[in-house]
Chains A and B, each alone.
Chain A
């Protein structure tokens, strides 16, 4: 199940684990990324907490936890080569996997059609 946030993150939800990344729209708006900082495995996050940093040539941007949960896996490939986030943001350019604290909290997320409407 694919979901989106208004903060331009995508979540691929499989059981109680969500794979999280930034959307193609966000990656395009940021331009060429040169730095990605990911959380440590085992980090417990509240919804909305700053969890990662992406830096383009021009600016640094925070990535917020889309839901509460625990980080169970991170994608070292995007740390080593941030350009993957530009070339394949919604597949191999994922950031981290989150074991969700509360599956009921999915209701606040957008589906793809709603997100596409948001970005126009």
Chain B
């Protein structure tokens, strides 16, 4: 058996919470150019379960936070400009609200998926770590001199789980009044933070953008609560997989459209055919046409039979022997809350109905895997 060395190269970037991770005994690993905590001494399974039953604290400071600010203070101009890059209704996004969307390309593929929050004077965009430089260039190239595109070096933490609200309310009581996808500026331990009620686990919770010099103080303030435990990136991945949420670079990328990925709920009617501001985002003709005709392939959930994990890249078949693969797995592993393997992948639409029996080929053997509805674990958002 080969075992990876635990040392991380020196060239990796560090988040403002790096020293805290080391003090907490984290096992560190490179992720998107950052030295990040994979898991803490409790281990990925315990961290996963703690998030589902209490509250997990995640450092997600590697993600990009970009402020988009109109120089003349007129936010609707920035909304119209953003709508040239994403298929979401940005103009209709009220102050204090956040929305999921994606940058598309001319062939209808996804360049990155992101959150857009209307903070009144500016939009706050939270983008994937591996895409943030490209996203920033895209924004600068697309926007006129009338807007400032400001990457910000604040820390970003997520507090997720059924006890996230009570834990954060100890430090910022006003958070309890927020509902799913609200955004507020809240004072936490005397420091002004931008808080959204959102996350990437399927649980209720918050993402908190913090000035980097006070990030550790606030993280430790939250960790003082016995309901809160640190959770690493390994459990973040099993949590989002159970919640049926896409990982950019795995389940979605420049070659997958929002329609095949089942993300059409994020394309509001006003941007579709018949809508007031139809199209005018990259790849709109392809995406809107596919939306009407229905996609040839579709992202589905898969429940492999038995206990063997079925991982990304695994080919999928209709028959137990011979014939060519009909699809492939894009994310897969063990679902700790379910105690069994789960996966997501792409299959032809004719094979995408829940209950369809397929086979996944792992180490030369074809294992039965049944198409199942997503998510695997129900979401618990506070709507």
Residues of A within 8 A of B (CB): 7-9, 22, 25-26, 29-32, 34-35, 37, 53-58, 60-64, 83, 86
Docked complex Cα distance between A55 and B307 (Å): 10
Docked complex Cα distance between A7 and B234 (Å): 24
Q: Is the CB of A61 within 8 A of B2?
A: yes
Cβ 8 A contact of B334, one of A35, A54, A61, A63: A35
Docked complex Cα distance between A73 and B334 (Å): 27
* B363 interface residue (CB < 8 Å to A): yes
A–B pairs, 23, beta carbons within 8 Å = A7-B1, A9-B1, A29-B6, A31-B27, A31-B38, A31-B43, A31-B44, A31-B234, A32-B44, A34-B307, A34-B309, A34-B333, A35-B308, A35-B341, A37-B308, A54-B1, A55-B308, A57-B238, A58-B44, A58-B333, A60-B309, A60-B311, A83-B45
* B141 interface residue (CB < 8 Å to A): no
Number of A-B residue pairs with CB-CB distance less than 8 Å in the complex they form? 60
Report the minimal beta-carbon distance from B146 to chain A, rounded to whole angstroms.
46
* B336 interface residue (CB < 8 Å to A): yes
Q: Could you list 19 further interchain pairs (A-B, Cβ under 8 angstroms) beyond the known A35-B341, A57-B44?
A: A26-B3, A29-B3, A29-B4, A29-B6, A30-B3, A31-B38, A32-B43, A32-B45, A34-B45, A34-B309, A34-B334, A35-B308, A35-B309, A37-B308, A53-B363, A57-B238, A58-B44, A61-B1, A62-B1
Report the minimal beta-carbon distance from A96 to chain B, rounded to whole angstroms.
14
Known: A55-B309, A57-B234. A31 touches B1 (CB 8 A): no
Of the candidates B27, B333, B363, the one having the most CB atoms from chain A within 10 angstroms of its own CB is: B333
* B39 interface residue (CB < 8 Å to A): yes
Known: A32-B44, A34-B334, A58-B234. A64 touches B309 (CB 8 A): no
Residues of B within 8 A of A (CB): 1-4, 6, 27, 38-39, 43-45, 234, 238, 307-309, 311, 333-334, 336, 341, 363
> Across chains A and B, which 3 residue pairs bring their CB atoms closest together, nearest first?
A34-B334, A29-B3, A32-B45
Which residues of the partner chain B approach A37 to less than 8 Å between Cβ atoms?
308
Q: Which residue of B lies closest to A56 (CB)?
A: B44
Docked complex Cα distance between A26 and B238 (Å): 22
Which residues of the partner chain A approach B311 to less than 8 Å between Cβ atoms?
60
Which residues of the partner chain B approach A58 to less than 8 Å between Cβ atoms?
38, 44, 234, 333
Which residues of the partner chain B approach A56 to less than 8 Å between Cβ atoms?
44
